[in-house]
Amino acid sequence: MQLPTLKNLAAAPTLGEDQRQSDTAPPLLKRHPIKALLGAAKAHMRAVSRGRSLPPGSLAEAEQYLLDDPHYLLSLQKIHGPILKAWLHGKVTTCIFGVALGRRFLAENEDKITGATTDFTPLFPHGVLRQMNGEPHREYRRLFIEAFKATDLAASQPAIRDIVDDMLSSLADIAQPASLAEMRETLKHALSAIMFRLLLSIERDWSGYDRMLAVYDRYAPNGTFKTAKPAHHQYFAEMKEILSERASEIRSQKPFPNMLSYLLAADRLDETSIGNLLQMAEAGRYDVMGLWTWLLRMLGTNGDVLERISQDSDETRRAAYCEAVVMEALRLEQSEFLLRRANSDIVFDGFFIPKGSIIRIAIWETHKDPEKFKDPFRFDPTRFLGSVRLSDAYAPFGLDKHRCLGADWIVKLGAIFVERAALKLRWDIISDAAPVNGTFHFEPSPTLAIRFDRV
Ligand code: HEM
């Protein structure tokens, strides 16, 4: 069955129940139509009782095929404008489009919002930076900014290059074509090694490396969990134990620059900084794995980009172009939204946002604005070459005091990956289909298969 796309939404018939449950339709389990009705009624009543109006849009739950279409919110924006309401992921959600508007919302409502993310406080005090506010956030963010500065990426560059080269060899050694699951596993393995090195001072040849990797894979086999369960407590305790083994070893050594060493030397290793360190390694390896998977897919249909990199003998120019490739991939995919929860009622640009509802700054859609990015769905890294000013249009790393601390690493590590891949491999996409709505983000279709050949 061919599902209608948003491009021809107006002409699309409403699907019948039997059609929706066909093999190709996504499962209906994610839908909560009754909850949506109740949530909508509550939000409307609250707005009326305050003499206010909710933003335009509908709180009725959309058909699953619309929710699974990456263009869904773009189509709503065209109808309703830059602030709209929708029922998303079981919540009343206010969507805000555009960098300037998103930034203003975050700045004006700093004290009324909090990061809508997994609660890690059952595992360690204050939880992760993303969920912190006020003084604890200022204190630990400052500490980690210093820790990132101290972790000189250049000093680890040769080791990172080796890890990436080993990973590229593994991709070429898999029975071809490699499936998406095999590619993700291979990338994640390499990114675990990179994150363990930079954050936890753990190298691949350290005696506890395999133990740590095994615990991480049990703690979060498919990215960060939504709620900490008893098993997470147990694995987290094991991870802390292995980290403390490593910490006591490096007290007497002077290893390469890394975060654990920095925190030890600064005497700032406490439950909260350890928790953030361990969780950052998990989120970092998973998110970057997602980005690198997109890069493989994008570069698989843009062989000219690989040629350009491999033929350019000017190292500085080549590195700048590889960084532009990563920035363009981030514009097109992986960075999708910033989520906040309203801690109290909010009025923004005249619209009422009820307490307890979600605010979504729509980054993916903002990155597709044709006024800011010509031919916005085209993969074109040259947009990011030269002295481009994109601060009012481009925000893959966030917009406020919670901006990603790993931003610089993501671009630099991605550039190493792109450069090494262009020098060592060529690949062809053997099968593919439309992206799917994964646990956290849109992801390439599970049918993606790529044939890798050594150059
Ligand atoms: C493709 C990979 C990544 C993307 C697209 C990404 C994107 C983001 C975004 C958009 C935010 C802001 C969230 C918000 O405002 O709610 C954020 C926060 C954060 N990111 Fe990343 N990130 C990535 C990888 C990493 C890595 C590798 C690290 C560290 C090793 C990292 C560390 C952090 C931290 C610590 C925060 C929270 C900062 C705070 O709340 O003060 N990220 N990231």
Å from CA of 403 to ligand 1 middle: 7
Rounded-to-integer distance, Cα 7 and Cα 11, Å: 9
Which atom of ligand 1 lies nearest, measured to the CA of 281?
30
Ligand 1 atom nearest to CA at 396? 10
Which of 133, 404, 409 is the pocket-test mutation for ligand 1 (most atoms within 8 Å of CB)? 404
The DSSP symbol for 34 reads H
Ligand 1 neighbour 396 (Cβ under 6 A): yes
Does ligand 1 have an atom closer than 6 angstroms to the CB of 287? yes
Quick one: pLDDT at residue 25?
34
User: Atom 6 in ligand 1: which residue has the minimum CA distance?
Assistant: 397
Q: Is 406 in the pocket of ligand 1 (CB under 6 A)?
A: yes
114 CA to centre of ligand 1 in angstroms: 15
Contacts of 5 (CB under 8 A, 6+ apart): 69, 71
Residue 141 Cα: closest atom of ligand 1: 41
Residue 116's nearest CA partner among 280, 340, 441, 267 is 340
Centre of ligand 1 from the C-alpha of residue 402, in Å: 8
pLDDT at 233: 97
Give residue 53 CA to ligand 1 midpoint distance, Å: 33
Q: Does the C-beta of 94 come closer than 6 Å to ligand 1?
A: no
The three-state secondary structure class of 122 is: coil
Q: Is the CB of 288 under 6 A from ligand 1?
A: yes
Return per-residue pLDDT of the chain as tens, 455 residues: 333 333 333 333 222 223 323 333 333 346 677 888 999 999 999 999 999 999 999 999 999 899 999 999 999 999 999 999 999 989 999 999 999 999 999 999 999 999 999 999 999 999 999 999 999 999 999 999 999 999 999 999 999 999 999 999 999 999 999 999 999 999 999 999 999 999 999 999 999 999 999 999 999 998 999 899 999 999 999 999 999 999 999 988 878 999 999 999 999 999 999 999 999 999 999 999 999 999 999 999 999 999 999 999 999 999 999 999 999 999 999 999 999 999 999 999 999 999 999 999 999 999 999 999 999 999 999 999 987 778 899 999 999 999 999 999 999 999 999 999 999 999 999 999 999 988 788 999 999 999 999 99
Ligand 1: does its nearest atom lie under 6 Å from the Cβ of 412? no
Asked whether the beta carbons of 339 and 95 are under 8 A apart, the reply is no
**Ligand 1 geometric centre to CA of 406 (Å):** 6
Cα of 405 to ligand 1 centre, how many Å?
Answer: 6
Is residue 177 reached through a cis peptide bond, with omega within 30 degrees of 0 on the bond before it? yes
Domains and CATH numbers, the chain: 129-335+395-454 (1.10.630.10)
> What pLDDT is stored for residue 105 in this prediction?
98
CA max distance for the chain: 70
Q: Is the CB of 198 under 6 A from ligand 1?
A: no
Q: Separation of 27 CA from ligand 1 center, angstroms?
A: 30
The verdict on the CB of residue 358 being under 6 Å from ligand 1 is no
Beta strands in 222-376 (DSSP E): 337-342, 346-348, 351-353, 358-362
Q: Which atom of ligand 1 is nearest to the CA of 129?
A: 40
Backbone Cα Rg of the chain: 23
Q: What is the pLDDT of residue 30?
A: 60
Q: Is 322 in the pocket of ligand 1 (CB under 6 A)?
A: no
Q: What gap in Å lies between CA 49 and CA 359, rounded to an integer?
A: 21
Give nearest CA residue, ligand 1 atom 20: 404
Ligand 1: does its nearest atom lie under 6 Å from the Cβ of 444? no
Alpha helices in 30-133 (DSSP H): 33-49, 64-67, 72-80, 99-108
Closest ligand 1 atom to residue 399 Cα is 15
The pair of structure tokens assigned to 216 is: 């991480």
How far from chain centre, in Å, is Cα 313? 33
Span from the CA of 129 to the centroid of ligand 1 (angstroms): 10
| Ligand 1 pocket, residue 127 CB under 6 Å | no
State the closest ligand 1 atom to the C-alpha of 330, by its place in the atom list counted from 1: 5
Protein residue with least CA distance to atom 37, ligand 1: 130
Atom of ligand 1 at shortest range from CA of 131: 40
130 alpha carbon – ligand 1 mean position (Å): 8
Alpha helices in 174-270 (DSSP H): 180-200, 209-219, 230-250, 259-265
